[in-house]
């Protein structure tokens, strides 16, 4: 079994020290693989004088060619012929562009190990049948969004009785159907089977607000869980403080804060980050997180805000070994969290870019772009 497979099936998902050599071996093999099989990756690596053998110990991972996710949105980079890639996924493209990512058979197997270990840390693996409410997209042919696949995948952690979706395909687009979700919620609330929510926090917030306006309460059966992930999508403005959301969940659904589990991940870094009971995203052994200075891209010490650089040896299909997201984040020492996990944890602070308001000068440039065309 290769270093990657041993890493992803390692028993302790937060044993960073114990798996460091395994991680480094897997990274070295992964980078070398992409250099052999992806012309673009090799071209970039050579331009930056990178060679896989330069990566020996953990501090060397800063030398890996650093590819912004925006590059995957503008170019299709693959290290394998398409027929060898059984699962294709895209980022959900908040701004209209999306990355095309593929999962090769090896990474799917590796990913299975990871999902089982990570799900177990928050008690998500169960044989007891549950009703699922997916606050996200219903799978539909022709749609490859990674969030959709993750949400669907999560309905296998415990056997599914029913799956109800908040976003339903209608022609080429998706339409929200929160009324349908409320009907189902009332039905499920009276049953003895636990209910599991999975999806976007923004939709949970909208749903809870609808319930509150109508004076509805739906206490869920014991063992119910709420899994959240995928960010606030285009609803950044409505973003609420987590404690407010948790309190509303308790009041209207009677689910304790400890049963709310959040996920973090990206199509270009398909590592399942699950939060600890204090809702911190500790970095699991499959991944390393570096925070980089917004001007110089130099690696910053813990506690400082910068661009988030995510590193994993998981994928052979696409060269996402070391990617830089559009997020701004901070890495905290694991010891700052009372949960006992020693792995550092990642806090996402926001997104890069202009503040909401458009400047008049920026508006004028939209016009000028058309002038020469």
Partner 1 sequence: MIFANGKIYPSDVQNRLLDALPEQICNTRETQTLRCETVIQALDRMSRRIAAGEFTDRVADPELRRQIGFAAGRLTQEALRLKVRTELGDHWEAPHASEPFPGQPTFTVQNVPLGVILHIAAGNMDALPAWSVIEGLLTGNINILKLPQADKGLTIEFFRMLTEQTPELRDFVYIFDTPSTDIAGIRRLASLADGISVWGGDAAVSAVRQFAPVGCKLIEWGHRLSFCYISGEPPAEELTALASHILQTRQLLCSSCQVIYIDTSAQKDVLDFSEHFLPYLEAAASMHPVSDLGMAAQLTLRRRVQALESVLSGEVSERRIFQGEHTSVTACPDSQLELSELYGNVLVKPLPRQSLMRELRKSAGYLQTAGLICPAGERAKLTELLIRCGVNRVLPPGRMSDTFLGESHDGESPLRRYIRTVNLL
| DSSP secondary structure of 193-215 | S-EEEEE-HHHHHHHHHHHHHTT
- Rounded to an integer, what distance in angstroms lies between the CA atom of residue 124 and that of residue 151? 13
| Best CA proximity match to 61, nearest among 13, 10, 27 | 27
Q: Given the complex with partner 1, which of 114 and 311 has the nearer CB atom?
A: 311
**Is the Cβ–Cβ distance between 179 and 149 less than 8 Å?**
no
Q: Given the complex with partner 1, which of 17 and 293 has the nearer CB atom?
A: 293
Burial 121-133 (b: 16+ CB within 10 A, else e): bbebeeeeebbbb
- Rounded to an integer, what distance in angstroms lies between the CA atom of residue 255 and that of residue 207? 15
**372 near partner 1 (CB under 8 A):** yes
Q: Given the complex with partner 1, which of 127 and 368 has the nearer CB atom?
A: 368
**295 near partner 1 (CB under 8 A):** yes
Q: Given the complex with partner 1, which of 71 and 240 has the nearer CB atom?
A: 71
CA 85 to chain centre: 20
| Residue 214: CB atoms within 10 Å | 9
**368 near partner 1 (CB under 8 A):** yes
**304 near partner 1 (CB under 8 A):** no
**76 near partner 1 (CB under 8 A):** no
Number of residues that bind partner 1 (CB under 8 A): 42
Least distance (Å) between residue 324 CB and partner 1: 7
In a 13 Å sphere around the CA of 336, the CA atoms on its Cβ side amount to 14
In a 13 Å sphere around the CA of 93, the CA atoms on its Cβ side amount to 14
Q: Given the complex with partner 1, which of 57 and 173 has the nearer CB atom?
A: 173
Among 17, 43, 183, 338, which residue sits at the site for partner 1 (rule: CB under 8 A)? 43
| Best CA proximity match to 122, nearest among 16, 205, 228, 22 | 228
Q: Which of residues 333-352 bind partner 1 (CB under 8 A)?
A: 350-352
Among 2, 68, 106, 221, which residue sits at the site for partner 1 (rule: CB under 8 A)? 68
Least distance (Å) between residue 359 CB and partner 1: 4
Segment contacting partner 1 (CB under 8 A): 100-108, 174-182, 209-217, 354-362?
354-362
**96 near partner 1 (CB under 8 A):** no
**59 near partner 1 (CB under 8 A):** no
**71 near partner 1 (CB under 8 A):** yes
| Residue 218: CB atoms within 10 Å | 16
Interface positions with partner 1 (CB under 8 A): 40, 43-44, 47, 66-68, 70-71, 74-75, 294-295, 297, 305-307, 324, 326, 328, 350-368, 370-372
């Amino acid at each position: 079994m290769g270093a990657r497979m041993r890493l992803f099936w390692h028993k302790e998902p937060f044993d960073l020290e114990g798996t460091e050599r395994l991680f480094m071996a897997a990274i070295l093999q992964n980078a070398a693989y992409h250099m052999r099989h992806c012309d673009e990756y090799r071209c970039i690596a050579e331009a930056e004088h990178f060679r896989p053998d330069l990566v020996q110990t953990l501090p060397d991972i800063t030398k890996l060619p650093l590819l912004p996710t925006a590059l995957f949105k503008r170019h299709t980079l693959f290290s394998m012929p398409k027929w060898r890639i059984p699962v294709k996924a895209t980022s959900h493209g908040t701004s209209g562009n999306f990355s095309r990512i593929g999962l090769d058979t090896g990474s799917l197997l590796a990913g299975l190990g990871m999902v089982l270990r990570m799900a177990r840390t928050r008690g998500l693996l169960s044989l007891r049948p549950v009703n699922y409410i997916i606050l996200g997209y219903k799978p539909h042919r022709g749609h490859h969004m990674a969030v959709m696949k993750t949400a669907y995948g999560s309905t296998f952690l415990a056997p599914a009785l029913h799956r109800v979706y908040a976003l339903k395909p209608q022609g080429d687009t998706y339409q929200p159907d929160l009324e349908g979700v409320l009907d189902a919620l009332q039905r499920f609330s009276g049953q003895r089977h636990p209910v599991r929510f999975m999806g976007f926090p923004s939709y949970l917030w909208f749903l809870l607000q609808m319930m509150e306006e109508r004076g509805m309460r739906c206490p869920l059966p014991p063992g119910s869980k709420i899994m959240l992930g995928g960010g606030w999508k285009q609803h950044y403005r409505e973003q609420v403080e987590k404690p407010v959301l948790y309190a509303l969940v308790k009041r209207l659904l009677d689910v304790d804060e400890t049963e709310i589990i959040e996920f973090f991940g990206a199509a270009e870094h398909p590592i399942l980050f699950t939060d600890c009971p204090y809702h911190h995203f500790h970095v699991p052994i499959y991944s390393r997180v570096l925070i980089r200075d917004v001007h110089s891209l130099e690696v910053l010490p813990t506690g400082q805000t910068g661009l988030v650089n995510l590193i994993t040896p998981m994928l052979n299909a696409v060269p996402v070994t070391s990617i830089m997201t559009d997020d701004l984040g901070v890495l905290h020492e694991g010891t700052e969290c009372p949960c006992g996990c020693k792995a550092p944890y990642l806090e996402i602070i926001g997104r890069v870019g202009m503040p909401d308001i458009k400047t008049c000068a920026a508006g004028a440039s939209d016009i000028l772009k058309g002038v020469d065309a």
